Amino acid sequence: MIRIFKTGCLILLFSLMQTVAPAHGAEGKGKVWPDFFGPVDVHGFIEMRGGTRTSDDPEAKDISVMEVRLQADLFTYTDWAEFKFKGDVWADGVTEKGEGDVREAWVFSRPSGFLDLKIGRQVLTWGTGDLVFLNDLFPKDWQSYFIGRDSEYLKAPSDAAKISLFTELANLDLVYTPQFDADRYITGEYISYWNSAAAGHAGRDDIIHADRPDRWFEDDELAARLYRNISNYELAVYGYWGFWKQPGGQTVSGTAIFPELNVYGASIRGQVAGGIGNLELAYYDSAEASGGGDPLIDNSEMRYVVGYTRDLAMDLNASLQYYVEQLLDYGAYEESLSGIPARDEFRHVITLQITQLLMNQTLELSLSGYYSPSDEDTYLRPRISYDVTDSIVLETGANIFIGEADHTFFGQFENNTNVYVAVRYSL
Amino acid sequence: MKRCFLIPLAGLLLATSSAMAQTATPTSDEIIHKANHMALYQGADTKSKVSLTITDKQGRMRKRAFRSLRKNDDNLDRNQKYYTFFQAPADVRKMTFMVHKHADLEEDDDRWLYMPSLDLVKRIAASDKRTSFVGSDFLYEDISGRSPKDDFHELVGTTEEYYVIKNTPKKPDTVEFAHYIAHIDKKNFLPMKIEFFKNDGRAYRVIESLQVDAIKAKQNGRPVIYPTVTISVAKNLESGSTTKMTVSDVRYNVGIRDDIFSERYLRRPPRDVMR
């Protein structure tokens, strides 16, 4: 049930915020804004989004998404730094609660010619994969993605310090997260899933509870990227020292846990035959897996992706990728299984993305898709968006899951296939 | 920005070309190279504000606004770097776009787009320059320039004010036009009108320069004036859509550093671009 009253209050609050954002250098008494700040740049949007499952899912509601969302985006600066706040509040018809999420709250500074600092809550991305992530271990929000929220929400924020060093030879990004930020993975709250222990689908009545590492400065994460361009071919090597971002194991009593994980990888991206090619690989070192014979901890993996994107015609762009996950120590893994279906040693996924812009680029038709020939499952994301004006956007789309088996990555979500519509008004 | 002199004065300052303009008629290639320089390569670098108003056949208006930086790689009128910081509308606000333009015909430009809401640096395939620039009636090639090497040029007439040049593509299958006719101002060599024609002789696109300002700047410490098109209109005669481009706060030779055109500044724009 949407709480109209609550939303009304939020809108009122937001309008008030608009009025208190002062002009730069406001004169006179009672000034609330110090002079050394620049003017506050205030933006935001209000959005209504509704969606429904296309078939009955005994583990979930019929509505897949139902929300009225408000985003406020504030930006200002001083001589030495920039400040940003971006936060959402929404009335959520699925959880039947008012929800809030601070997406960005950071300070950025360029203290010297070779150093950039960005500290606070921030969205972080690197790597070359399109819709697949190998060396990008920053938190994802798969729930938002699968229920058809805007693609912005695929990335969850990190509470981190990003230090960037620039030299003639190469550039180095270091991201330190003092308290582990997990993915917002599928828990059953919005999306039902396959519970292998119970050998059945599970959802709202069987929310995954996980034992998340949460000790400040002990259960921390460090991510590094060393990169440089050679004639505009972008080369990078990566490192990550932290934990599996989604439960990668369980305790003897069945509680989901996040075992330690280190990732090492490399990527290259640049022009190939009239388009852009990318190649990336990553070694996922599951530090607690002890040779792969432990049934309670996920094995180490190798991940590879090769991709190509180009324009096929005017305002028509296509991208194709081949992505492989290789489970290491496979023999030991097979021996450790006790009756649950085995993962394949190699999981192959082909991703495709086609985007066509029409009517002065105000109408966008797009199709993103994942198809796994080894899992025999498919995930399709058709989407249409139309800019009615510069500030009003209408959008409709679907998240379609098709699978031969109940337990494969996309196949398990078959009952969650949904369609949605949205309207957004930006300020 | 202070409006400066009237346009005719600007012509007098084009040291090399003014001599050329007063003597024999230059060849079509000379005119085109000069026009290419005037339209795209004046000064070592340029900083400006750009706003586009797109009006479709039904009269619906859309606006695009961005700050733009350009820097020449050398003084040969060849490679350049562009940096664009979008301010409007909402769905592209704060996105940055960067181009390393390569004059060699065999080499595609390098383009990057940064989307701040996802912290995502995207490489953009740049094989097709004949696509709309941000949904306007200007194409990428209108903004970043079409290389003189791409076409055969023929001086088909002169009027009181203009050289009239017919340009025919060397590779007709790579473009949507059969030829285009450029009217180039005799005094300052700025292209004032460009009409694009289909095979059957129909004009289907036209770009006109409506206002030229004389922009004062310094070059090696000496005052110079760069005549600059500040208002232009692109019309798509087939769709009935029109885009007006207004350029303001134009500054030349501000000393933009080369490293501005790198991933570092793509992810966080230089401060003075945002203001």
Q: Per-residue DSSP letters for A61-120?
A: -SEEEEEEEEEEEEEEE-SS-EEEEEEEEEEETTTTEEEEEEEEEEEEEEEETTEEEEEE
Query: What is the average pLDDT across A406-420?
Result: 94
The pLDDT value given to residue A295: 82
Query: What is the average pLDDT across A290-316?
Result: 90
What is residue A258's three-state secondary structure?
Answer: coil
Chain B CB contacts of A124 under 8 Å are: 119
- DSSP state, residue A259: -
**Residues A359-381, buried b or exposed e (16+ Cβ, 10 A)?**
ebbbebebbbbbbbeebebbbbb
Query: B57 to chain A nearest CA, in Å?
Result: 11
Nearest CA in chain B to A117: B268
Query: What is the average pLDDT across A131-149?
Result: 95
Could you tell me where the beta strands, DSSP code E, fall in A244-376? 249-250, 256-257, 260-272, 275-286, 301-313, 316-327, 346-358, 363-372
Picking from A118, A123, A315, the nearest residue to B118 by CB comes out as A123
Residues near A403 by beta carbon (within 8 Å), at least 6 away in sequence? A375, A376, A377, A378, A410, A411, A412, A413, A414
Nearest CA in chain B to A172: B264
Nearest CA in chain A to B236: A360
Q: Is residue B231 part of a domain?
A: yes
Picking from B120, B130, B268, the nearest residue to A314 by CB comes out as B130
Residue A92 one-letter amino acid = D
Instruction: Note down the domain range covering B44.
Output: 25-253
The model's confidence at residue B240, banded by pLDDT at 50, 70 and 90, is: very high
Q: Is residue B19 part of a domain?
A: no
The pLDDT value given to residue B111: 93
- DSSP state, residue B150: G
Counting one residue from A and one from B, how many pairs have CB atoms under 8 Å apart? 104
More confident of the two residues A201 and A306? A306
Whether the per-residue pLDDT at A8 is higher than 70: the answer is: no
The CATH superfamily of A2-426 is: Porin (2.40.160.10)
Nearest CA in chain B to A126: B120
Query: What is the average pLDDT across B46-62?
Result: 95
Picking from A155, A232, A360, the nearest residue to B54 by CB comes out as A360
The reply to whether B118 touches chain A by the CB within 8 Å rule is yes
Closest residue by Cα to residue A200 from A58, A342, A95: A58
The pLDDT value given to residue B12: 40
Picking from A126, A271, A390, the nearest residue to B90 by CB comes out as A390
More confident of the two residues B26 and A263? A263
Q: Is residue B266 part of a domain?
A: no
Q: Is residue B135 part of a domain?
A: yes
The pLDDT value given to residue B127: 66
Query: A51 to chain B nearest CA, in Å?
Result: 22
Long-range CB pairs of A217-222 (<8 Å, 24+ gap) are: A217/A178, A217/A179, A219/A179, A219/A180, A219/A243, A220/A176, A220/A177, A220/A178, A220/A179, A220/A180, A221/A137, A221/A160, A221/A175, A221/A176, A221/A177, A221/A180, A221/A181, A222/A174, A222/A175, A222/A176, A222/A177
Residues near A355 by beta carbon (within 8 Å), at least 6 away in sequence? A316, A317, A318, A364, A365, A366
Most confident of A25-34, A106-115, A309-318: A106-115
Q: What pTM does this model have? A: 0.89
The model's confidence at residue B3, banded by pLDDT at 50, 70 and 90, is: very low
The model's confidence at residue A13, banded by pLDDT at 50, 70 and 90, is: very low
Query: What is the average pLDDT across A100-127?
Result: 97
Helix orientation angle between B15-22 and B28-40, rounded to the nearest 10 degrees: 150
Domain regions of chain A by residue span: 2-426
The model's confidence at residue B114, banded by pLDDT at 50, 70 and 90, is: very high
Chain A CB contacts of B271 under 8 Å are: 77, 82, 110
Pull the structure tokens for residue A17: 């915020």
CA-based torsion, B77, B82, B88, B89: positive or negative? positive
Question: What are the tens digits of pLDDT across the range B191-210?
Answer: 999 999 999 999 999 999 99
Whether the per-residue pLDDT at B19 is higher than 60: the answer is: no
| Inter-chain residue contact B89 with A390, CB threshold 8 Å | yes
The model's confidence at residue A32, banded by pLDDT at 50, 70 and 90, is: low
Query: Chain-wide mean pLDDT for chain A?
Result: 89
Whether the per-residue pLDDT at B5 is higher than 80: the answer is: no
Identify the CATH number of the domain in which residue B242 sits.
Answer: 2.50.20.10
The reply to whether B170 touches chain A by the CB within 8 Å rule is no
Query: B13 to chain A nearest CA, in Å?
Result: 38
Mutation to test the A interface, candidates B91, B107, B235, B272, most A Cβ within 10 Å = B91
The model's confidence at residue A31, banded by pLDDT at 50, 70 and 90, is: low
The model's confidence at residue A2, banded by pLDDT at 50, 70 and 90, is: very low
Q: Is residue B273 part of a domain?
A: no
Query: A65 to chain B nearest CA, in Å?
Result: 21
| Inter-chain residue contact A314 with B275, CB threshold 8 Å | no
Residues near B190 by beta carbon (within 8 Å), at least 6 away in sequence? B35, B38, B39, B184, B209, B212, B227, B229
Whether the per-residue pLDDT at B173 is higher than 60: the answer is: yes
Pull the structure tokens for residue A6: 């609550």
Query: What is the average pLDDT across B155-179?
Result: 94
Q: Is residue B2 part of a domain?
A: no
The model's confidence at residue B108, banded by pLDDT at 50, 70 and 90, is: confident
The pLDDT value given to residue B272: 78
| Inter-chain residue contact B127 with A276, CB threshold 8 Å | no
Q: How far apart are CA A201 and CA A415, in angstroms?
A: 9
More confident of the two residues A271 and B11? A271
Whether the per-residue pLDDT at A363 is higher than 70: the answer is: yes
Q: Is residue B97 part of a domain?
A: yes
The model's confidence at residue A333, banded by pLDDT at 50, 70 and 90, is: confident
| Inter-chain residue contact A271 with B110, CB threshold 8 Å | yes
The number of distinct structural domains making up chain B is: 1
Chain A CB contacts of B120 under 8 Å are: 125
More confident of the two residues A103 and A338? A103
- DSSP state, residue B178: S
Q: From the centroid of its chain, how far is CA B78? A: 14
| Inter-chain residue contact A108 with B268, CB threshold 8 Å | yes
Q: How far apart are CA A70 and CA A16, in angstroms?
A: 14
- Give the CA diameter of chain B: 58
The pLDDT value given to residue A296: 87
Chain B CB contacts of A123 under 8 Å are: 117-119
Q: How far apart are CA B146 and CA B162, in angstroms?
A: 20
| Inter-chain residue contact A389 with B60, CB threshold 8 Å | yes
Picking from A43, A310, A390, the nearest residue to B125 by CB comes out as A310
